[in-house]
């Protein structure tokens, strides 16, 4: 896969026309590096497909497939609230420390009418689909 660009948000016309599938999760526990790949496709146009690859993923909450590619990065208060629900180990860190996105990652949300998929990761990139 070839990266299209590093980004903070996705701007797509008609985002609810797309289906998303958590396609791959890979990691190396020795160096704490992992990736989560989401396949995004328009079921009406087979060639209209791409991947969103999240890096340094520390949490995932939601379904493995969903409708809509309404992706946004959470505001600081949302990020803190979600991190604090994950595990008690986060309680030893101050809000300022938890907002160090290069250390703890950032909450990314896929939102549709009835579902929210949450991914905590340091960042993501878009990749062209190889097929």
pLDDT in tens, 35-68: 999 999 999 988 889 999 999 998 899 999 999 9
Q: Provide the domain limits for residue 36.
A: 3-72+110-128
Let me know if 78 is exposed, middle or buried by CB neighbors in 10 A (0-12, 13-18, 19+): middle
Average pLDDT, the chain: 85
Position 42 in a domain = yes
Is 24 within the bounds of a domain? yes
Tokens coding 68: 């809509």
121 and 22 Cβ atoms separated by less than 8 Å: no
Q: What is the CA radius of gyration of the chain?
A: 15
Total domains present in the chain: 1
DSSP of 37-63: EEEEEETTEEEEEEEEEEES--EEES-
Q: Does residue 49 lie within any of the structural domains?
A: yes
Q: Is residue 35 part of a domain?
A: yes
7 lies in a domain? yes
């Amino acid at each position: 896969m070839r990266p299209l660009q590093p980004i903070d948000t996705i701007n797509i016309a008609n985002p609810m026309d797309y289906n998303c599938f958590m396609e791959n999760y890979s990691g190396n526990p020795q160096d704490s590096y992992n990736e989560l790949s989401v396949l995004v496709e328009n079921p009406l146009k087979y060639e209209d497909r791409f991947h969103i690859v999240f890096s340094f993923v520390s949490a995932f909450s939601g379904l493995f497939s969903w409708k809509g590619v309404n992706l946004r990065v959470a505001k600081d208060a949302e990020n803190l609230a979600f991190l604090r629900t994950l595990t008690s180990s986060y309680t030893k860190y101050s809000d300022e420390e938890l907002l160090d996105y290069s250390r703890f990652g950032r909450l990314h949300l896929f939102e549709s009418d009835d579902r929210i998929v949450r991914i905590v990761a340091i960042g993501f990139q878009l990749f062209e689909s190889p097929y």
